[in-house]
Each structure stands twice: as C-alpha cells, then as structure tokens.
Structure 1
C-alpha cells in the first residue's frame, strides 16, 4: 500500500532539492555526523493542553519556546487512541491490524524490525527510559533483553501510574529499583545523564512519561498550587447537566461533586502534571544546549493519545473526538530548518518511524506502512490528505457494555468523518466547529463531502486490509484472552 505513497514522497524530496535517495532512505552528506534523536512522549496529553495551542489556562512556557523553534504538526493524531496500540505503531511504523496490538497489556510481536533495531543496524546507540506497556507479561515484571524490541540502554517498567512510588528495572538487573519522588522528574534526570554521556556517537533516546494520565491529583505540590479550579475555563463541549455525562468506570473521591466542578478539579490536576512535565522539557533542552548538541539533535515531543476530560460527557480515551485523538507533535531539528513553522498536513502515528529514519539517513524497512514527512518539512506539499483513525475493539472503561464502540474514521486538515458498525456516525467541520458540537452526518447539504470522505475511508481500509468486523472477531483472530468486558486481564 504505502510503497507507492512513499515513492511519491521521495520524488518530492528530490524535487525540493534535499538529499539524494537510495534504497528508500535519505542519504547523509559524506563526512557529516548523523543526528541524534531525543524522543519524548507523555501518556494521555491532549493537543489542546498547551499554551502554544491557545489554551488560556495551562502554563507550559518551555513547550511554548520549543514550539517557536519547531515544526508544529497542527493535525497530528493517534492512529488508535489507546496506550499499547499507539506505542506499538510508534515502535513499528505500522497500523494496529498489522502489528496486532489493538488492546492494552498484550505482547508486541512485530513483523519487521522495530525502530530501535533499525537504528542499531545503522550504528546508533539506543535507549529507553520510563513507561513501556508493550510486553504483556505483567505490569511490574522484569523484561529480559530479548523482549525489549532492540533497545540497549534500559530503565523501564511495563506500566504504573503510581507516580510518587514508581519502580523500574535498570538494564539487566532483575531487582527492581525505585524512582526518587515524582517519577517523571527522576526519569528526566537520568535522560539528562544519558545525553551528557553519549555526545561522541549518534544515539536515539526514548523518554516515556506516565503523566498526565490519571490519577490526576498527584503532581508535586508546587505545580498543583499553580491552578485554582474555580478559575479554569471549561470548554463549551463539556455538558452543563449531570445526566449528559457518562461516568468513568471507577469514580474517585470527588464523585459527589457537581460534574462541571469535578471537571474543573480534574482539569487543575491534569494541568499540574502538564506543567511539571513542561519543566522537564526545559531541563532536557538545556542539557542538549550545554552538551553542544543542539544543532545535531532531532528533538520530538508528543503523546500516545489524548484525554476527553469531560468533553462530550466522556472521560479518557478510545473516542474519535479531537480531545482523545489529537496529540501535540513538535519536531525541532536545526539541520532541516530553524525557527518555528506550523504544518497543516495530517500526521499519523505510523508516520513517526519513517520520518525519523529519513532525517537520519537510515533505511526505511519495507515493513513500515507510514510515510516520511521529510519532504513536507522541506516545503513540499503533502501527497496525502487524510489520516486513518481506528478503534478496533472497545474494552476497559469503555467496553461495549458501557457504550464503547468499534469505529473507523479519517481526520483531514479540516474534517473528521467516522463510521461505527451501524454506518456513518460523525462528521465535523473542525474549522468552523472546533469543539465538534454540530454533527453533519447524513445531512443533504453535506452529502457530497460525506461521499468524498467515505471514499477516503474505504481506501484506507483496503490499504490496511481492514474488513471492519466487530471487535471480538479480531480478538479471536489474535487469540487474546479477554474477560466479559473484552479486556485482557493483567498482573500488577
């Protein structure tokens, strides 16, 4: 499928006067040191929760500065807005039905090399720090080297959200250690140490934070004190009446509050996590500058998916609305362009791996299904105008019995179009209706637009060999053991 699309991109790259192309990769100029990659991503950080995106409440000065120096992907999406599926697509450059991870807590057994394996082959050192969530052997288990998808340096726990009492395994030591204090801050300190000690040879470092995912009220006090819930702006798509909310599967100690007061309370905690992580971004940027690596380092900040935070009466993820699907994506690399620039082209999770490979002159494996956006970074128009978004199987807090749905959709620079198993479900003009309150599906005045988006969606489904069956059909195909809610049970 994407081979033809990738060839089109590479032709555009040559026309744009960039690097030469050989064997599906951008070739580095002889004698130049390949760039490093520092890839930082948070869990459940929605695109609108930054100052540079226009949010009037959240305080993210370091990200705002980074955005002014970066390519800002305005329409970056999470291909499947759930933790493990999105992370598997980052690691493989593939869509969920190809790599097979469309629920949480299963093992990624990729068909084709991982991003770490590709960079290892190219002579890079590779490292991963923080939350993994791709092993499927228990959330607190030691992960042996053969299950690390090729990463060398390793300070990882499969998954935890106990941010102030968080364990990890340090390289090949099977005895768990404990991060000091708020884990994201200590993980960042270790990432700074890694950057300082690897300046002489090219490296790829992934830093994966657990926040701002729930629990929302556990950021350090200094950051929680920055936010008064009563002064926060409630988005207009948050319902006013309790009956319009669907409560999460597990209510916390604030369940008795009025829903919009609860949204403000949770939002204040969520923003506190964001500000704590923003300070960590500042430390990472300073460490790169201090090491003299700024010109030679690709720095990426993004998230695996977003968080509804009460919008449309919903919580957390697995939904096709922008709060769940859209993620921040900043890419800073002076070697391609200095100064910030906003990009309208939809950018999807599987596009991350081929883009980083081409920027570094590393061959893109034939198993990769995403597209390199290097030509777009250099000014060429995108050859594609729609990103595929999917929820293969509803589970967990949004199991089918609680209203979760299987859905497939496309997100363009302007529109969102989604179908569920019953047919067309949602159609939004995100330019005139940024909070997605006016569903245009099946209206006579949008019939032509809907037909065009339907054709785009059907093409995507053919390209990804997706027959859009019910979720349990795909669960049975993969042989995943699920409970009555469709969820793969895990050991803590």
Structure 2
C-alpha cells in the first residue's frame, strides 16, 4: 500500500501549459467557419469547433508590421510609433517585454517558425527580417520553391512592388516544397523535439499574402465561373473622403475577368495554407499535446477583394480592419461556440498570460478574453480601435457591436458613421445625418480619448 504524503512532503507542481500561436499573413474572414459559401478551410473550421470563434475581432493597424508589433508588444501603435514597414520597435520602445519574451522569461522554450514579426513577403523570405532576438530561444526561416519561381508569375499590377501586387501562380510540385509546407514541417519537428517541456511555439504562415502561390490542385477547387464579385464595388464614392481609399484608381484598372482570376488565386492560397495548418494540428494531437496546449489563430489584418473598388489592406473599411481569430483552450466551457463580442488583437497577450497562469505586464493595453472562453456571450464593453496613416495624418476608427465611426486627418477631417446592423457593407455614411449626432459624438469622444494616449512600456 502506498504511503500517504505528509504535510512536509514536496508537492509536484502542475505542468505548465503550452502555447501554439498560429499567425497567418493577409487572411480575411472568407472562411467556411465564418460562413463563406465557397472557400474551403476544413482545418481552420475544425479548430473553431474545438475553440471559440470571435465574430468581431479587429486589428489595431491594417498593415503587417504595425499590426504585428502591436499584438506582440501589447502596445497600441501610438505607443510603439511603428506606422510603416521599416521601423523596428526596439528603436522606439527598447525595453518593452514582448509576449514571447515574457514566456521565455518565465521558463518557457520559445520558438518562431516563419513570419511573426515583420519581414517583407516575398522579398525577405528566408531571412530574419525585423525579428526580435530577445523573444526566442530558436528560430527557423523557411524558404521554398515559391521563392525560386517568381519569374513564372502572372502579374496584373507590374508597376507595383511584388509584395503589394495582384500576382499569382498555380505551381507545380508538392505542398511540402512550398515555403508554407516547410513552415509546417519545421513546426512539427520543434513540437516533437520539445514535447517534454513547456513551450511557446509561434508558427507564421505566409499565404495568402501575395504573390498568391499554391499548387495547381488548389486552383482547381475554385473554377472562375464560381467566383462572385462583390456587388458593392466600388459603389457610391461621393460620400467618402479620398483618404478612405488605398486602391486608386479603383481596382487598379483590372477587368472583371482579371479580378475573378485574382480572387481565385487568393482562395486557392487560403486552402493551401489551411492544409499546412492541418498537418500541425494533426501533430499536436499525435504527440498527446492537445489537452495541455492553448491554440490561438489570428491574421494580422483583413483583406479587401474589390469591395469599394479596393484591394488588400490599409483602409478602415470593415473588410480591412476585421480579422479571423480563434482561441482553442482545452476544457473551456465555450468551446465550439462563436462570440459576438467586439475584441482586438491586443487582447491576445493578456489572454495567453491569464490562461497560462502568468502575470500580465502592466504596460499591456489589451483585455483578457478568458471570461469569453467560458461564456462567449458574456456582457462585454470593450470596443475595437483601428488606425491607418495617410499623407494628411492619421485616420482612426472605433468599432462597437453595432457601429463603426471613423475620422481622418488626425481627427480634423472627414467623418464616417455606419450602422453595421443595417449596413454591414458600409454603403451609407450617416455622419452628416443629424439624427445620429448623439451617437457620433459619443463614439468620437471614446475614439479620440482612447487612441491618442500613448502608454509607457
């Protein structure tokens, strides 16, 4: 008969919980689990079934580096001062403790595979880019066949840089030869090698960022005659400020057929990336790690596919600011449900520290979503704030469950107000309608009061 432990006997500490962070580049909400009728995303969908899908999640800045910097530092862009693709946050907030660094400081093995902090795609694939050495114990910088075959691309915007082009390739060869295939392979190796220790593994997929490259079989899943162009494209533009638009002239002059081809390639890239995510999730299950690992899935911003005549990001429209976000925490009561609450990418930092039982650094601006993992419909009053830089100053937007209010030129320019319940495509600007003056004033005060107060790290 085993001896009973005495009061003085050492107690075995509960094992630390693992983190698997999945970052996706330029992915919008055109996914099966978010209700898209055409896009095939079976692995993202199955992750949603084992977690909480956030229906109203928003980025802080619809551009790769500012968005990723904000999420990983826990600071709003006005605090990081990162508004473009060149500035490294260590030059502006040198002492900030990043999300992975905080886990590293608390005894976790931290690793990055692929793109987490910014580097240019496709130009800097295979490099460290703007990585942050204090964040990681080890890094992997995959470089696949897609990088070597850029001369085979079809490019409908040849005057634009390749990293901001409408270009694509239905590639020969296997998934595993592509950069995202190598990302999955390396992530699986790291899980296998470190399954016996607490880990924070950040896996950064490159697709569907342009150029849209995927093996041919994924293009075949999306016949061009099945691609439906957005009806609200470009719509009545007289009610908007010129600064509301990033793509100008509208659609960059593409024909309808060229637009369909581009969307086909974007969707093919999503499904290809989804298949690589599936390989990682399969390994998590095979290694017996799923019951002790929180999985958080996010994109750095949304992506327009000709809505309002716009492409890509860098606008404050819903399709640009909204992101897919799924948090799968083992044993959470809300798993399998959708949350209608308005949340931000900033909330990921405190959610992970909270769930893993770590302290949350005082500089972190977000709010833990752990209560919503138990009750996805819990009462919640945390609007989302998104901003973007233009030549005439900053544009800022606040999103509540019902409203989006935006103002340009550092708060002195044109205003936009949309009732998302009645106008989800933001086709009717109510900013000049006196019936909504009270709503507009309240949102304006909330927006400008919250977004322009930098926080110290």
* Range into which the TM-score falls when normalised by the shorter chain: 0.7 to 0.9
Deviations 1:421-448 (A, max 9, x none): 2435211111221111111112122222
> Equivalent residue of 1:319, what SS?
coil
The verdict on how the C-alpha distance between 1:299 and 1:418 changes in structure 2, with shifts beyond 3 A counting, is same
Residue 381 (structure 2) pairs with residue 384 (structure 1): yes
2:48 counterpart (42, 57, 67): 67
Measured after TM superposition, the shift of residue 408 of structure 1 is 0.7
> Equivalent residue of 1:191, what SS?
helix
> Equivalent residue of 2:349, what SS?
helix
2:313 counterpart (311, 317, 330): 317
1:84 counterpart (65, 72, 76): 65
C-alpha distance in structure 2 between counterparts of 1:412 and 1:240, whole Å: 24
The verdict on how the C-alpha distance between 1:308 and 1:273 changes in structure 2, with shifts beyond 3 A counting, is same
Deviations 1:22-49 (A, max 9, x none): xxxxxxx9732121111111111112x1
- Corresponding residue for 1:330? 326
- Corresponding residue for 2:225? 230
Residue 205 (structure 2) pairs with residue 220 (structure 1): no
What TM-score do the two structures reach when normalised by structure 1?
0.76
What TM-score do the two structures reach when normalised by structure 2?
0.81
Q: Mind listing any 5+ residue stretches in structure 1 that lack a counterpart?
A: 1-28, 168-178, 395-399, 467-492
Deviations 1:124-166 (A, max 9, x none): 1000011245479x94796499942321120137xx9984439
C-alpha distance in structure 2 between counterparts of 1:381 and 1:447, whole Å: 29
Measured after TM superposition, the shift of residue 329 of structure 1 is 0.2
Q: Indicate if the aligned counterparts of 1:237 and 1:436 stay in contact, CA closer than 8 A.
A: no
C-alpha distance in structure 1 between counterparts of 2:46 and 2:346, whole Å: 27
Cα RMSD over matched residues? 3.3
Measured after TM superposition, the shift of residue 236 of structure 1 is 2.2
Deviations 1:363-390 (A, max 9, x none): 1111212121212323384553311111
1:437 counterpart (427, 431, 442): 427
Residue 444 (structure 2) pairs with residue 454 (structure 1): yes
> Equivalent residue of 1:346, what SS?
strand
Residue 96 (structure 2) pairs with residue 112 (structure 1): yes
Residue 20 (structure 2) pairs with residue 38 (structure 1): yes
C-alpha distance in structure 2 between counterparts of 1:205 and 1:247, whole Å: 34
The correspondence of residues 72-471 of structure 1 with structure 2, limited to 5 A, is 72-109=53-90, 110=93, 111-134=95-118, 139=124, 143=128, 147-156=132-141, 163-165=146-148, 181-216=177-212, 218-239=213-234, 248=247, 257-258=254-255, 260-337=256-333, 339-379=335-375, 381=378, 383-391=380-388, 393-394=389-390, 400=391, 406-421=394-409, 422-464=412-454
Q: Which one is further off, 113-122 or 451-460?
A: 451-460
C-alpha distance in structure 2 between counterparts of 1:147 and 1:61, whole Å: 33
Measured after TM superposition, the shift of residue 462 of structure 1 is 4.9
C-alpha distance in structure 2 between counterparts of 1:445 and 1:241, whole Å: 21
Measured after TM superposition, the shift of residue 51 of structure 1 is 0.7
Measured after TM superposition, the shift of residue 263 of structure 1 is 2.2
> Equivalent residue of 2:343, what SS?
coil
C-alpha distance in structure 1 between counterparts of 2:275 and 2:337, whole Å: 23
- Corresponding residue for 1:58? 39
- How many positions carry a matched residue from both structures? 410
Measured after TM superposition, the shift of residue 458 of structure 1 is 2.6
The verdict on how the C-alpha distance between 1:145 and 1:346 changes in structure 2, with shifts beyond 3 A counting, is closer
The verdict on how the C-alpha distance between 1:180 and 1:130 changes in structure 2, with shifts beyond 3 A counting, is same
C-alpha distance in structure 2 between counterparts of 1:383 and 1:338, whole Å: 15
